[in-house]
Amino acid sequence: MAGTLTRSALPHTRHPAPGPWAHEYSVATSQGVLSGLLAEPADGAEPRALIVALHGMQLHAGYFDTTTADGLSLLHTATAAGYSVWAPDRPGTGASADLGDEHRLMRPQADLLLEALAAVVSDRPVGSGVLVVGHSYGAKLAMAMLARAGERPFLGLDINGCGVGLGHGTDDSGWMRSLVVAGDRGPSWGPIALYPPGTISRAHLPVEAHRPLPINETLLWPADFAEFAPQLRVPIRVTYGDHERWWPIDAAGLAEVGGAFPNSPGVTVHIEHGGGHNLSLGWAAASYHRAVLAFADECTHAAASGVGQA
């Protein structure tokens, strides 16, 4: 039945295992079960709000729960600050790995997540409401969710590692070459020194077996962005690591994304020092996640005063 939630064992084993502050949390939708992680404030306290965290390509929900060093897990940091976090495995990942091709494209994924979120909200306290965080492809999916949500309200949108135009990870332009330094591990990572020891090892990497999308949605993203962005009427925060290479982070690129949401009550674009594309797995995760929660605080306060909620 759609909307049934369970804490039972999943039909797959998550690797690496989540931290002790999180547990497996699955939601049955009309197209199958979505697995994921849930973390809530201790002692059954009412959460300030619910953060929905959407991971990127070739990863799973554990992206937001790295345990390679203390203080880097969004799930742990958020619950300590009084928030709940639901980090679903993106449709087509985890328990829904066998999802049909027609349901693994961005819009059907967004619709499935909205269906699942409705079940989560009906099952758990969410405080002031729901704020969505998205990384890379998860940022695209987050934009699609809010654009397709209709009258369902959200507090805000926090995205990172995603821009307006096509990615430039294989481009040989001057701005990109200037970011390549010793120990570089490619555009998805940047310098290895940005990450705790062992992060890019099978023991700690939250990688999911990757099944290519039915079509190359990367080529469609500029048009999708142009469709979704004007429909977003919530506060928006966009972050890039200073070693981001898939998206241009020069002055022109930052200005473009900052002006791309005409109906948002406020857009902030931030560069996170010491961060690569995979922000939530690196040393910069601690600072980035604190900023996410500061933004969440602003959004909850705005919702309480009736400002900036769509």
Q: What is the DSSP string of 202-233?
A: TTT--B------SS-GGGGHHHHHHHHGGG--
Each domain of the chain, given as residue ranges in start order, spans 5-304
Write down the pLDDT at residue 2: 41
**Can you say how many angstroms the Cα of residue 221 is from the centroid of all Cα atoms in its chain?**
17
Query: How confident is the chain (310 residues) per 10-residue block, as mean pLDDT?
Result: 42 83 95 96 93 94 96 98 97 92 92 97 96 97 97 95 70 46 79 91 80 83 96 97 93 95 97 96 98 98 70
**Cα dihedral 19→239→189→183 (10° resolution):** -110
Are residues 268 and 237 in contact, defined by beta-carbon separation less than 8 angstroms? Answer: yes
- Tell me the pairing of strands 130-135 and 50-54: parallel
Token pair recorded at residue 269: 């674009």
- The confidence score (pLDDT) of residue 178 equals 47
**Dihedral pair phi/psi, residue 74, rounded to 5°:** -60, -40
pLDDT for 151:
86
What pLDDT, on a 0 to 100 scale, did the predictor assign at position 3? 44
Q: Which residues pair with 127 in a beta bridge?
A: 49
| Mode of pairing for the β-strands spanning 32-34 and 22-24 | unpaired
**Domain 5-304 belongs to what topology?**
Rossmann fold (3.40.50)
Say what the pLDDT of residue 212 is: 79
